[in-house]
Amino acid sequence: MTKNEINQLLNTTLAPGFKGMFFVYPVKKIIKEKEFFISLGISFCIFIFAFLEPEIALDIVDTVIDLAFLSIPAILGISITGFAIVVSLVSNRVLKKIVKIYPKEDSEPKTSFYQQINAVFGITVLAQAVCLLLSIIIKGIMPFTLKVLVHPLLAQILNALLVFILTLVFAYSLLILICLVKNIFTLGQTVNYVYLTENSENQPENE
């Protein structure tokens, strides 16, 4: 790539922070993932159940929050630690191979394999952090919302929507770990491939 082409990417796929992360791994790509569809299906089924059985909707919310408090902090720690380990184990020789940005279709952003790995890690940690933060907020304000008098139908709809959002975020924050594992394995395969090809190039042909 030329210097001008690289500079043009500074506001898109090479941008820092969330802007760059969602250019590399856009929302439209997230919602096309089978992990997201599975999360959506689970959440929709629980939403219907919570709407038809409004008396147990808050019990479902409490259960999901308890599960989030039990599982998400540990998984979040593992995700961050795994990311640090993966980044530290990539040598400069391998890094030169996986940071190359290859041309793609017009509809897709120009990204490298290394950017894709970083984006998956970022989305995973972000989803888990949002799930944990949302659980804390709901747990904190729920005692106060129970004292607010609203129409029973409105309360039924709001509780069911709360169940839907919370279960969607929780399910996705767990299922996206599948993408994370696939990317870690692919990175390992890439590192293995780079070392094998370099060693084969250095060996005489008759060996």
Looking at per-residue pLDDT, the higher value among 17 and 135 belongs to 135
Most confident of 12-21, 99-108, 115-124, 195-204: 115-124
Angle 148-149-155 (CA atoms, 0-180°, nearest 5)?
95
- Residue 1 pLDDT level (bands cut at 50, 70, 90): low
Burial pattern 183-206, b for ≥16 Cβ within 10 A else e, equals bbeebeebbeebeeeeeeeeeeee
Q: Compute the average pLDDT of residues 42-50.
A: 93
Q: State how far Cα 157 lies from the chain centre.
A: 28
Predicted pLDDT of residue 47? 93
Burial pattern 160-175, b for ≥16 Cβ within 10 A else e, equals bebbbebbbbbbbbbb
The lowest-confidence range among 23-37, 63-77, 92-106, 189-203 is: 92-106
- Residue 193 pLDDT level (bands cut at 50, 70, 90): confident
Question: If you count them, how many residues does the chain have?
Answer: 207
**Using a CB cutoff of 8 Å and minimum separation of 24, what contacts does 45-53 make?**
46/163, 46/164, 46/167, 47/160, 47/161, 47/163, 47/164, 47/167, 50/159, 50/160, 50/163, 50/164, 51/156, 51/157, 51/160
Predicted pLDDT of residue 133? 93
Structural domain boundaries of the chain?
20-202
Q: Does residue 164 have a pLDDT over 90?
A: yes
- Residue 110 pLDDT level (bands cut at 50, 70, 90): confident
Q: What is the CA radius of gyration of the chain?
A: 22
Q: Does residue 204 have a pLDDT over 60?
A: no
The rounded distance, in Å, linking the Cα atoms of 72 and 170 is: 9
Q: Compute the average pLDDT of residues 91-98.
A: 72
- Residue 62's closest CA among 159, 128, 156? 159
